Structure 1
Amino acid sequence: MGFRGMRHCERRILAFFISVLTLVDITSFVIAREDTQPNILLILADDVGSEVPQCYGGESYATPRIDQLAQEGMRFEHAYAMAVCHPTRICLLSGQYPFRMGNPKWGSYPESAEANTIAQVLKNAGYATAVAGKWQIGMLGEDLSQPNRLGFDEYCLFGWHEGPRYYQPLIWQNGKNREDVKEKYGPDVYCDFLIDFIQRHREKPFFAYYPMALCHAVTNDLDKPVPVGPNGRYQTFGEMVEAMDERVGRMVDAVDQAGLRDNTLVVFLTDNGSPAKNIDGVRNGELIYTPVSSIRNGTVIPGGKAQLTDAGTRVPMIVRWPGKIPADSKCDDLIDVSDFLPTLAEVAGGELPSGITLDGRSFANRLEGEGSGPREWVFAEHKENAFVKDRRWKLFSDGRLYDVQEDSNEQSPLKIGDVPHADSRAASQLNEAIHELFAAGLPRRDSQLQE
C-alpha cells in the first residue's frame, strides 16, 4: 500500500472513531434527557367538575379517552382550583395565589410578574414552549406580544371576549389574525396547532400548554350572539363533554404516535366546577340558557362554578408518565393549582423564580410514589371570601368551619371550639394557616375567627 493509500486508510479509521464517539455523545444526551427532561403536555379543560368524568364516578357522559388516561396513569382525588377561570389561570401560571398578586382585574396579567411564569421557568430550562386555546388573561388584539412575554415561543389563542371561540372563531396566532379558520371548529384549530408543534420538537424537550375552550359556554357579552354551529344551535354541555374527551384523546395520540410516549408527562385537570347553566342556542336574538346537572355515583350534582364548594373547586386531575407513574393508580394527596409551577420546574430540572414568594409546593416526588404529600391544606378564593381545607375540615375566611365528611353540602357551620378533641389539632392548623394568609395580604373577614 502506498503512502497515499495509508493516509486515506488512516483518515477513514479516524472518521469511523469520530462517528462512533459522536454517536455515543448523542446517545448519552438522549439518555440524559430521558432521565431529566421529559416533554410536558398540560391540558386544562374549562368548566368541568369532578362529577363529569366516568373514572370519577360520573354517569351522565361518556369519557373513554379521559378514562383511558386514568387507567394508564394516576388519578388524584383531592385536587383543587379556584372557583372561576381567570384566577385559576393566574395561579397556575405564577405559582402564587391571586391575592398575593393583588387580585389582577379580570382579563389581565401583571406585567411585573411576566418574567416568573411556568413557561418562563421551562423556557429557561431549555424547553420549547407553546400555548393554544383559551388565553383569558389579556385582550390579544391590543397586545399581541403578551404570550411571548410570558414565556411562550409560539401561540394560537382566542383572547378575552374578543370574538367567537367555536364557530367562525377569532384566533390570533403568533402575532397575526388567522383568516383561514372561518369554516373550522375552534377546538380543532387549537389541537392542530399543538400537534404540529409536538411533531416539530421531537428532538428537543417541549412544554405544550393546552387551555381548552371546551366545555365553556359561548361568549355572551358581545354586541350580538356569536355564530351558531352547522346544526343551527350551540352545543349542549353533554356534546361539549364528548368533544372535549375526543380532543384530549387526539393530543395524547399525537404524543404516542410521535414516539414520545415514555418520555412525556401528560397532565389533565380543569379550571373549576361545571357551570350552573349552558347556552344552547338563540331564539329571536336572545340566548337560550339551560340548567346543567350531572349524576355522580347515583347523586344529582348541579353545576357549582363560582361557588367555594367542592362542586365549584374540587377538580379532576390525572397524570400519565409511563415507567415513572404506576398505571391505574390513585393519590389522596392534597393538591392545589399553585403547585404546578414548582412541580414542573423540579421535573424539568429548572430553577424557581427568585425574589418572589411561591404558594405552590412541588409534588414531583409523589409522581413516583416516593415520600409524602407536601400539603396539609389547600386554598381557594373568590370575590370577597376564601377557604383553607384539609380532607375533612374546611375553614372560611369569614369564620365558618365545616366538617365536609359529615356535612358535604356545608349546611351546618361550626366553630373551632366545637371540633372534637381528636381533630382539634387539624382545625387549629387551618386557623393558623388562614391567619398566615391574612398576614400575607388576604382580605380579612374574620369577625368569628379565633386569634
Structure 2
Amino acid sequence: MHRFQILSARNPGLSFVRSTLVICGMLVLASLGYEANAEDRPPNILFLFADDVGQEVLECYGGQSYRTPHLNELSRTGMKFNHAYSMPVCHPSRLTLMSGQYPFRHGQVTWGDYPKAAEETTFSRCLQRAGYATGIVGKWQLALLGDDPLHPQRLGFDHWELFGWHEGPRYYEPMIYRNGQVRDDTLGHYGPDLYQRGLIEFIKSNRDRPFMAYYSMALAHEVTDDLSPPVPHGPFDRYDSYPEMVAELDQAVGRLVAALNALQLREQTLILFLADNGTPPEIIIRADGEELIRTPVVSRCNGLDIPGGKKQLTNAGTNVPMIANWPGTIRPGQVVDDLVDFSDILPTFLDLAQAPLPPDVSLDGVSFADRLRGRGASPRQFAYCEEAVLPKAGGVEPDGESSGLKWVRTQDWKLYNDGRLYHMSEDEREQYPYRAAEDDATRSAIRAKLQKTFADLGLRTN
C-alpha cells in the first residue's frame, strides 16, 4: 500500500483507481444490508472545511487555474453562497466557528488556543448532547495535542484523528493523534488519504444514528514551517504545489460524497463545504537544508489574475466559498446572496439538529437553516471581521476590545473601524475609500447605519 498510496495521491489515473476500489467496496457492504435507518431523524452533517482556499480557486465561482469537478457538481446540484465571510486567518476563523461568537468576545486568547470557559458550548458539544455521534479528522489548531491530547474530547468529539499541529508533518508520513494516542502506522502514507479513510470509517460505524462528520482539511495549506529539520518532502523531492493540493482537495470531496452514496446516506445528509480564509500569497515548495523555498500563488478568475489574499481583510482574504448540498431538501442550482459569517455555523447546525442553543451564552450567530430548507432567506443583516492581533502583555484593553482593524458590511457596503467606507459592489478591490467628509446623503445614511452596528457590538469607530 505504501508506495502505491503516495504515488496515487499525485497521479490522477491512480487516484481514480484508488477511489473506484473504495467505492466498490462500500457498495458491497451496502448490498449486504449495511443501510442507514429509514426512521425520521435530524440530518447527518458532513462538514468539509478547506484550508487556505479563496473563492477564485473554484471553477464554480469563475476560477480558471484549477480543475474542481467534484466541487462544481456539489454546486450544480446544491446551493452556492456568494457572501460567506471568514476571519482573515485560520485560528480566529476556527474560534468563531466553534463558539458562535466573534473572537473579541473571548478576551485574551493566545494563538492556537481555545478559551476554557467556552469548551462546554462548542457546536460539537451541543450536537453531542443532542444525540449526535461527533467525529473530526485533519487539522485541530486549537491546542498543541502533545500538551493536551484529550482536548478534542473536551470540546465534544467522540472520535478524532488529527495531525500534530507544529509537532510533525501533516502530509507525507504524518504525525496523527487518534483519540489521544500518536499513531505508529503512518510510515509511507499520505496524510489526506488517512484522514479521509478515518472519516469514512467513522461514518460507517455511526450510519444508524445522526452523526456530524467534520473534515478539517490540511489541504490546501502549506507544510509546517517551524520544525527542524523541516518535514519530509513528497515522492518528487519537494512539497506539493498549490495546484496539486487543490486537485487533492477536490478528489477528497468526491471520495466522501461517493462514500455517502455507497452507504445510501445522501438524502439524510447535509454536506456543507466552506473554507477558513483566502488563498495564501505564497507557499513553501521545498526545503534546501534548513532553508524553506517559497513560490507565489496567483489564480486566474473571471479573466483576472488574483494574488492570494490570506491575512488581508479584503474580499480576497475573507470572502470564502460556501456550498450546501442536501438531495431532496435543497433544490439544485441555487445561487444565493444571503450574508453568512462564521458565527452562524453553530446556530445553524443546532437548528438542523433540533437541539437547543447553549444556555447563558450570547451568540453573535444566526441560523440560516431556513434557507437550506427552502423556507426563506437568512435574517442576518451584516457580516463582521477583525484583524488577528495577539494580545499584548498585561491583557486586553479595559473594555475587552482588542486592537486592530475591524469591519462590518452588507452585500454592497463595508465600513472599517478607522472610518473608511467602501462601495463594494462597485469597488471590490477597495481602491476608492470614502471618508465621512466626502459623504453625500446616501453614503452618510449608510455610514450611520454601519456605525450603529459597530456600537451594537460594543465596538468603537473613528
Please report the TM-score for the alignment, with normalisation by the length of structure 2: 0.87
Q: For residues 152 and 423 of structure 1, what CA distance do their matches in structure 2 show?
A: 47
Decide which of 122, 147, 156 is 2:127's aligned counterpart: 122
Does residue 31 of structure 1 match 2:39?
A: yes
1:353-432 correspondence runs (5 A) = 353-382=358-387, 383=389, 384-416=404-436, 418-422=438-442, 424-432=444-452
Give 1:371 shift: 2.5
Give 1:187 shift: 0.6
Give 1:424 shift: 4.4
1:308-347 correspondence runs (5 A) = 308-347=313-352
Q: For residues 361 and 103 of structure 1, what CA distance do their matches in structure 2 show?
A: 24
Q: Which residue of 2 aligns with 1:211?
A: 216
SS of the counterpart of 2:57? coil
Q: Which residue of 1 aligns with 2:15?
A: none
Does residue 149 of structure 1 match 2:157?
A: no
Q: For residues 223 and 435 of structure 1, what CA distance do their matches in structure 2 show?
A: 46
Q: Which residue of 2 aligns with 1:270?
A: 275
Give 1:263 shift: 0.5
Question: Are the equivalent residues in 2 in contact too, given 1:272–1:305 (CA < 8 A)?
Answer: yes
Give 1:225 shift: 1.0
Does residue 90 of structure 1 match 2:95?
A: yes
Q: Which residue of 2 aligns with 1:240?
A: 245
Decide which of 39, 57, 60 is 1:52's aligned counterpart: 57
Decide which of 179, 182, 187 is 2:184's aligned counterpart: 179
Q: For residues 323 and 423 of structure 1, what CA distance do their matches in structure 2 show?
A: 43
SS of the counterpart of 1:140? coil
Q: For residues 59 and 431 of structure 2, what CA distance do their matches in structure 1 show?
A: 28
Q: For residues 266 and 444 of structure 2, what CA distance do their matches in structure 1 show?
A: 46
Tell me, which stretches of 5 or more residues in structure 2 are unaligned? Answer: 1-36, 390-403
Give 1:364 shift: 0.6
Decide which of 48, 52, 71 is 1:66's aligned counterpart: 71
SS of the counterpart of 2:283? strand
Q: Which residue of 2 aligns with 1:4?
A: none
Offset from partner CA, 1:352-408 (integer Å, 9 cap, x none): 111111000001101123223211110111131111011111111121111122222
Q: For residues 116 and 318 of structure 2, what CA distance do their matches in structure 1 show?
A: 27
Q: For residues 66 and 446 of structure 2, what CA distance do their matches in structure 1 show?
A: 37
Instruction: Kindly provide the amino acid, as one letter, of the partner of residue 48 in structure 2.
Output: I
Question: Are the equivalent residues in 2 in contact too, given 1:416–1:428 (CA < 8 A)?
Answer: no
Offset from partner CA, 1:80-128 (integer Å, 9 cap, x none): 0000000011111110001101152111111111000000111111100
SS of the counterpart of 2:39? helix
Question: Are the equivalent residues in 2 in contact too, given 1:137–1:160 (CA < 8 A)?
Answer: no
Q: For residues 199 and 94 of structure 2, what CA distance do their matches in structure 1 show?
A: 19
Q: For residues 205 and 436 of structure 2, what CA distance do their matches in structure 1 show?
A: 56
Q: Which moved more, 1:280-289 or 1:378-387?
A: 280-289
**Count of residue pairs brought into register by the alignment:** 411
Q: For residues 251 and 436 of structure 2, what CA distance do their matches in structure 1 show?
A: 46
SS of the counterpart of 2:317? helix
Q: For residues 240 and 377 of structure 2, what CA distance do their matches in structure 1 show?
A: 42
Q: What's the C-alpha RMSD, in Å, of the aligned pairs?
A: 1.3
Question: Are the equivalent residues in 2 in contact too, given 1:274–1:304 (CA < 8 A)?
Answer: yes
1:131-142 correspondence runs (5 A) = 131-142=136-147
Q: Which residue of 2 aligns with 1:43?
A: 48
Question: Are the equivalent residues in 1 in contact too, given 2:82–2:337 (CA < 8 A)?
Answer: yes
Q: For residues 103 and 317 of structure 1, what CA distance do their matches in structure 2 show?
A: 29
Q: Which residue of 2 aligns with 1:26?
A: none
Offset from partner CA, 1:301-350 (integer Å, 9 cap, x none): 00000000000000000000111111111111000011010001000001
Give 1:71 shift: 1.0
Give 1:231 shift: 1.0
Please report the TM-score for the alignment, with normalisation by the length of structure 1: 0.89
Q: Which residue of 2 aligns with 1:25?
A: none
Q: For residues 256 and 188 of structure 1, what CA distance do their matches in structure 2 show?
A: 19
Q: For residues 219 and 371 of structure 1, what CA distance do their matches in structure 2 show?
A: 43
| Cα distance change of structure 1 residues 352 and 259 upon mapping to structure 2, 3 Å threshold | same
Q: For residues 312 and 427 of structure 1, what CA distance do their matches in structure 2 show?
A: 23
Q: For residues 356 and 310 of structure 2, what CA distance do their matches in structure 1 show?
A: 34
Q: Which residue of 1 aligns with 2:26?
A: none
Q: For residues 376 and 426 of structure 2, what CA distance do their matches in structure 1 show?
A: 29
Give 1:416 shift: 4.1
Give 1:425 shift: 3.8
Q: Which residue of 2 aligns with 1:23?
A: none
Question: Are the equivalent residues in 2 in contact too, given 1:378–1:389 (CA < 8 A)?
Answer: yes
Q: Which residue of 2 aligns with 1:81?
A: 86
